[in-house]
Structure formats: C-alpha cells, structure tokens
Chains A and B, each alone.
Chain A
Amino acid sequence: MLFGIEWDTSSELAFAWSILPILLIGLWVTVQATVLGFFVALVLGLILAVLKAAPSRFISWPARALTEFIRDTPLLIQLFFLYYVLPEYGIVLPAFLTGALALGLQYSAYTSEVYRAGLEAIGRDQREAARALNFPAAHTFTHVLLPQAIPRIIPAMGNYLVSIMKDVPVLSVVTVLEMLNVAKIIGDRTFDYMVPLSMVGGLYLIMTLVASAGVRLLDMRLPKQGLPLK
C-alpha cells in the first residue's frame, strides 16, 4: 500500500492496473518539479546570459566561467551540494524545492546559451539599421532583437523542458516522491520491479513523445520572421 492505495498481486495485469493510480500521483510530482525547475532555469539562464554579455570583462568572464562550471558538473552532485550545504548556512528548504532549484541551476547553463545564440543569430545588419535610424538601445532590444529572437529561442527551450523532465528522477535521492521513486518503492515492497519500472518507462516515453511533438508543432507555428509588429 502506498498513498492509501492497495495493490492487487493476483496477476501481473491486475497488479499493473492497481498501481497505475499510484504512479500517476508520482507523475504529478514529476510534472510539478519539471515546471518549477524549468522556470528557475529560464530566470537564472537569463541572468547568466545578461552577465555574460556585459561589456566589462570583470563581469562577463566570471559569468562565463560559472556557466562552464555548472554545465560540466553532474546534477546529482549539485543536488547533494544544495541539499547538504545550504542548511549549514541556515537555508533550510523542503527537498522538493531544493530539487527544483538544482534542476534549474543545472539547466540555467544551457538556457543561458540559448538566449545568447538566439540574440546572436540576428544578423549585424539589423543592429546597423537600428543604429542608422538612431533607435535608443533599449528600443533596439525590445522591438528589433527580441521579437526576432523569441521564435528562435522557444523551440530550444522546449527541448530543455523535455530534458528537465527526464532528469527529475535524480531528485529521488533526496527523498522526493517523483514517479521513479514511487515505482522503486513499489518494487522494494512487492519484489516485482519489472512491472512498475516498465510502466514508468512507458509513461516517460508517452510524455516525451507528446512533449516533443508539441514543441515541433509550436516551432512550425512560430513566425519565422519574428513576432509580427503591425
């Protein structure tokens, strides 16, 4: 029994059917961690991207080094670091929040590159035209660069959303009851790992295929010329 739901071990099929609701509770946690982690990654990534683009080397260089460091070290270790080290400095967060924070931190290194690449892909000619017309820098950013960068950025970010979802099981090490952890517990108690773990695999496959198709569809519908301004 888990989350108050009994399982039925009379047959493999009955077992699978009876644990599905339990796994779906875990799946809901997975989705929540994904969304929160993604949000953190979007915000932290933007901050890193802005710092990396700073005109002063004293800001841009450390930001670049930090991005590289975050990207080159395992999520698991970053998670342990936050989980065990933050409390030593008086910051005690629930495991779920620490996990989402770790996911967001790891992926901020990737999203910051997406922001950078999205802005750099807009040719020099656009900046020059804006300059020749004497646009203020802020206006060039908000009305010329961003509207053209966003359609390039969204699909790449969507792919990282899918990646984050696949990394959520790592959070099980700090006791977050996401889907894989739930399946593992069911396996530990029933000595049948085959059914729950295969079901988790199948559910993941469905989620990533659906999400990837969604990203592709979104990509097709995005205006290639940039968000239109009438």
Chain B
Amino acid sequence: MSDHIIKFDKVGKSYGSLKVLDGLDFEVKRGEKVTIIGPSGSGKSTVLRVLMTLETINAGVVYVGNEPLWHEQCNGALVPAGEGHLRKMRQQLGMVFQQFNLFPHMTVRRNIAEAPVKVLGLSRQDANLRAEELLEMVGLADQADKYPHQLSGGQQQRVGIARALAMRPKVMLFDEPTSALDPELVGEVLNVIARLASEHDLTMLLVTHEMRFAREVSDRVCFFDKGRIKEQGTPEELFTDPKEQRTRDFLKAVLDA
C-alpha cells in the first residue's frame, strides 16, 4: 500500500507521430502540492487532461488512489474502462480550466450548484448553500445571481475554482489558471489558490507559468520537457540550483522575460 494518490506508469500519448507523453513515470503523494512547469508543447497540460479523463492514453497505466484510471480489472487483465468506471474515478478529481469554461447561460450560483445536484444528488437547497459558502471563500458572496459575462476574468476564474471544489474532490487540477487573465487580475486568483494550498490537505496539481507563485505554494516542482520529467525537486533545489542545462535555459528565459 503506497501513499501515492496519483501514479503514472510508463504512460504514452501521441497524436499521429507527435509524442506528447513519452513513457512518463510520475507520482504524487496524498496532500502534496506539485507544480508542473515547462515549455509549451512539453505535455504538461496533457498530464492534467489525461487525469480528468478528457484525453485518452495510448500506453501505460494511470492510477488514482490505487485503482487504474483508464482501465478495469477483467479476469486478472487490465482492459480499457467503460463510462461507469470513468464516472466513478472522475468523482475524485476537480479541474480548473485555463479559459474558465463556465456555463454562460447559468448564474454563478447555478454554475456551482448544478453538479452537486445532478451528480452527487444533493437537494437544490443544500447545493445552493454549499455554493454560497464557497463563494464566500473565494470572496464573491455578492455575485451569486450574476451571469458569467457580467464578471471580470479574475472573478470568473474564482467561480471556476469554487465550482470544482463544490464536488469535494480529493485532487484539484489547475490548468494554467491565470494564463487567460489580464496581469492586474492574476493576483486575486493566485491568492485564492494559495489559501487553498495552505488551509487544506487537498492534493493539488498545478500547471503554471507563474514561477514565483510556484515557488511559494509547491512542495515539489517538476520540469517537463518532450513528454517526460526532465528534472524535479523542491522549489528551492529546482529554482536556485537546477542540475540540467535544459532546465537552466528554460528558467533563464522565463525569469528574464
């Protein structure tokens, strides 16, 4: 019995001849906060999208808890999982999208409460209560009746975070949550994520370009390159004393920018 909540075992994913994940081995401990950095096209977002079952894999096995995510046991062999298994596994994960992906025709409250009602079976009343608590937490208690387009990008993303949290996931996935935001709105979103990291024992997986933020909140930073982890370590190790030339070049390029 390991204390890993996520484990990638030689996972491969390719689009035609392009290898996005190339025999990836990767583990995350329960409660760990891991940041993934790397150049675009290095496969870092794909790790999150595979975990959220938005994209399939071509090779290897992904474990969440101790169960394979994309496979089911059948007569001792692993076979591709059916929708029922995926739905069960998905329950443990929550995702925050780069483009927020809020439902434009639902009020903020309904965006958050819809899945608890329809998927977890909460009453509309309990779900609304949960939504309001979460809105309070992300500092948007007074915006519950607005529609997404009436909010700023930073506010929309905070709703996106609340929406994912409403499902009480064990693992939160953040896919470049601030990349689509104007610079002056980045702070409010990062503050919410930082509070979440310090006050909860939630496992968090974060893909970001915000290096300073990565350094503050993560237990571990992984540098991705060409579908594999090129180098990983504590933020201290990776940012101050990277071993690999490739890592040094990347950090130099982004920190100088």
Contact = CB atoms under 8 A, between A and B. Distances in A.
A131 interface: yes
A144 interface: yes
A227 interface: yes
Interface residues of A, number: 22
Given A125-B97, A143-B114, A230-B110, A132 B90 contact: yes
Contacts of A132: 52, 54, 90, 93-95, 97, 101, 164
Nearest to A132: B95
A148 B103 CA distance: 9
B103 A131 contact: no
B119 interface: yes
A72 interface: no
Contacts of A62: none
Interface stretch (A7-15, A33-41, A134-142, A208-216): A134-142
B118 A139 contact: yes
A76 to B, nearest CB: 42
B54 A133 contact: no
Interface in A141-187: 143-144, 147-148
B87 interface: yes
B107 A131 contact: no
A125 B99 contact: yes
Interface in B95-126: 95, 97, 99, 101-107, 109-110, 114-115, 118-119
Q: Which 10 A-B pairs rank lowest in CB-CB distance, beginning with the nearest?
A: A226-B105, A129-B101, A133-B115, A225-B104, A125-B101, A132-B95, A229-B106, A134-B119, A134-B90, A147-B105
13 contacts: A125-B97, A129-B103, A132-B54, A132-B93, A133-B119, A133-B163, A134-B90, A136-B119, A139-B118, A143-B118, A225-B104, A225-B105, A229-B110
Interface of B: 52-54, 87, 90-91, 93-95, 97, 99, 101-107, 109-110, 114-115, 118-119, 145, 147-149, 163-164, 167
Given A129-B102, A134-B119, A229-B105, 11 more contacts: A129-B101, A131-B53, A132-B54, A132-B94, A133-B114, A133-B119, A133-B163, A135-B119, A143-B114, A229-B107, A229-B110
